[in-house]
Structure 1
Amino acid sequence: MTPTSTSSPNPNLTGTVQLTPFYAIPIALVVLAIPLIFVQPWIAGLVALFGLFLLFQTATLRLQFTDTDLDLYRGETLLRRFPYQDWLNWQIFWSNLPILFYFREVKSIHFLPILFDPKTLQACLEQRCPKP
């Protein structure tokens, strides 16, 4: 696996593009849990645990856009392949503050937190899987 890593606003989108990690959401959740301790300690604990879980996922998962598929890796291990030909729709929610990526395939629907560079994600989606 020899991915091209990019995070510039106008990336070169030919070949394989591996998205860089985006730690904003997991860190924001962990930081949000701190003042919540004084209001509701058990809710603060849940928010902090969820933030730490997302932090682990951000550090270990990788998304790669190939010419034909979106591939999900953990380290060098391919976990799942999503062929573009099976995609019906996609959307990044809240463009000013992207936090959720949705895409629908013929047989399933996926909601993913934005754990990868949102600008490169958007650019790759627009190029490789344009909306109808």
Structure 2
Amino acid sequence: MISTPMSERLPDRVVLAPNYKIPIVLIAASISIATFQLWVGLAVGIFGVFLSIQTAIIKLEFTTTTLNVYRGSNIIRTFPYTEWENWEIFWQPAPILFYFKEVNSIHFLPIIFDPQMLRTCLEYYRPKSDSAASSL
């Protein structure tokens, strides 16, 4: 688990770097799958290409009060930390899914961003409370 000491401060704004590992693995797997099941391999490959495009276009920005989602240079969604109940990164040591729950909704995002910096930002800007951690 990566932790940020309280003496170490992150900037007021952090934009996560893209991470193409999941799309590349999916595209590579689709080639192998296609040798046995063409249509399944094609579907996995198309999903890998879709995630590659999303990785290039979508950006996550952590600020002191919100998580912002950008498509290119346009902000498409803002998630204030005050409305978050919990967050989790699934399947360590190969993180593939980021989950967070707001008061009125649940969100799942594939890890198409730097997973270590994602965890660092989450722990810094929106640390888990003891009650949220014990409810998992």
Partner of 1:55: 52
Tell me the CA shift for residue 12 of structure 1: 5.5
**Residue 91 in 1 paired to residue 88 in 2?**
yes
Q: Unaligned 5+ residue runs, structure 1?
A: 1-8
Partner SS state of residue 11, structure 2: coil
- Whichever residue aligns with residue 116 of structure 1, its letter is F
Tell me the CA shift for residue 65 of structure 1: 0.1
C-alpha deviations, 1:88-124, integer Å up to 9, x for none? 0000001200000000000100011000000000000
Identity %: 50
Partner SS state of residue 28, structure 1: helix
Aligned runs of 1:34-53 on 2, under 5 Å?
34-53=31-50
CA distance in 1 between partners of 2:46 and 2:88 (Å): 27
2:29 to 12, 17, 32: 32
Partner SS state of residue 98, structure 2: strand
C-alpha deviations, 1:34-78, integer Å up to 9, x for none? 011111000001000000000000000100001100000011100
| Segments ≥4 residues shifted beyond 2 Å | 9-12
Give the number of equivalent residue pairs.
124
Cα 1:43–1:87 shift into 2, 3 Å = same
- Whichever residue aligns with residue 14 of structure 1, its letter is P
Aligned runs of 1:1-132 on 2, under 5 Å?
13-132=10-129
CA distance in 2 between partners of 1:48 and 1:112 (Å): 19
Partner SS state of residue 130, structure 1: coil
Q: Unaligned 5+ residue runs, structure 2?
A: 130-136
**CA RMSD, 1 decimal:** 1.4
**TM-score, normalised via structure 1 length:** 0.90
